[in-house]
Structure 1
Amino acid sequence: AFQGNVMATNQPAPPMKLQPITNPDLTPSPDVPLAILKRKMMASNDIRVARGLLMEINTHLKVREMLAESMRQVVERVTGNKLKAEEVLNERAELSQHQCYKTAVNHYKYNCYNWHKTEYEYALRHLYALVNLCERGYSADSIQLAMDSVCRFRF
């Protein structure tokens, strides 16, 4: 019965079968702002507007680079070893150490990069490294200390 109507006797509609998308021109969510800027620049016939958009694109890319580099530094400080840091940055562990991760993520958000600010949304792409650190047994305290060291110049 539709929405609890006991008087309705119609059978529910069969599930829809959708064709697979063969040629997706899809953009991952974190890349949408950059894709919009690129399309605006390509569509612009005004050189001043295009230059302004190019500057915005470059700023956006520099922020992405800074976010990646900051997380790399945090991981290196926690592990104390560049080789181990690379392993941590190149794996995707499943989360079971929820308390460690929650503590680390909150500290990162409020002391390094708040991903609720548009310019730092891409920071979400690097949180997997915190999962990996917690899953490898590093303490939330050691992760927080590393963040404090790396992010101290942010404010």
Structure 2
Amino acid sequence: MNASPQQWLKTAEELQTMKAKRAFLDDFMQYLVKNLVDDQELANKIITSRGTSITNFHCHEVVVKQFLGHCFHGSKDSYALSKVYMLVNLCENGVDAQRIVDHMKVMCPHIDVHNFV
């Protein structure tokens, strides 16, 4: 079945919107990490390393709850959920949970981005 020009245009616009939202989330997470971690090499490691084991459960729970509940509503967005590893890395590298939450409280009220898929 061939799509009409209108259907094609609508799909292209939806794809562009999705890409813009994902780029916004990527930028948000990098900005958050780089504002919490002074060491550039460590910040890059936090941004790129996946598969870190969770040992600081309290930090993880508090930070993820803030992120999903007040920033990106990640329980509905798999792309937002895919960025939680950076929060794990922040916690596992000794960044205080309250400090992370405080940064998100400042940044998140200005966000009205949902549905990254």
Q: TM-score, normalised by structure 2?
A: 0.85
User: 1:132: which partner in 2?
Assistant: 89
Partner residue of 1:69? 27
CA distance in 1, matches of 2:110, 2:38: 21
Match of 1:108 in 2: 67
Q: Compare CA radii of gyration and give the structure with the larger one.
A: 1
Equivalences, count: 111
- Are the counterparts in 1 of residues 47 and 86 from structure 2 also a CA contact under 8 Å? yes
CA distance in 2, matches of 1:101, 1:135: 9
The residue type equivalent to 1:149 in the other structure is V
Shift of 1:81: 4.2
Partners of 1:67 and 1:44 in 2: how far apart?
A: 33
8 Å contact kept, 2:60–2:91 = yes
**Cα displacement string for residues 5-51 of structure 1 (whole angstroms, at most 9, x for unaligned residues):** xxxxxxxxxxxxxxxxxxxxxxxxxxxxxxxxxxxxxx643111100
Consecutive unaligned residues in structure 1, runs of 5 or more: 1-42
Q: Deviations over 1:42-66 (max 9, x none)?
A: x643111100010001111111111
For residues 153 and 134 of structure 1, the distance between their equivalents in structure 2, rounded to whole angstroms, comes to: 24
Q: Aligned partners of 1:142 and 1:62: how far apart in 2?
A: 28
Choose 87-96 or 53-62, whichever is displaced more: 87-96
| % identical aligned pairs | 24
Q: Is 1:97 equivalent to 2:56 in the alignment? A: yes
Counterpart residue number, 2:11:
53
3-state SS of 2:82 partner: helix
TM-score by length of 1: 0.66
* Structure 1 residue 141 corresponds to structure 2 residue 98: yes
Instruction: For 1:147, give the aligned amino acid.
Output: M
Report if aligned partners of 1:44, 1:50 keep a CA contact under 8 Å in 2: no
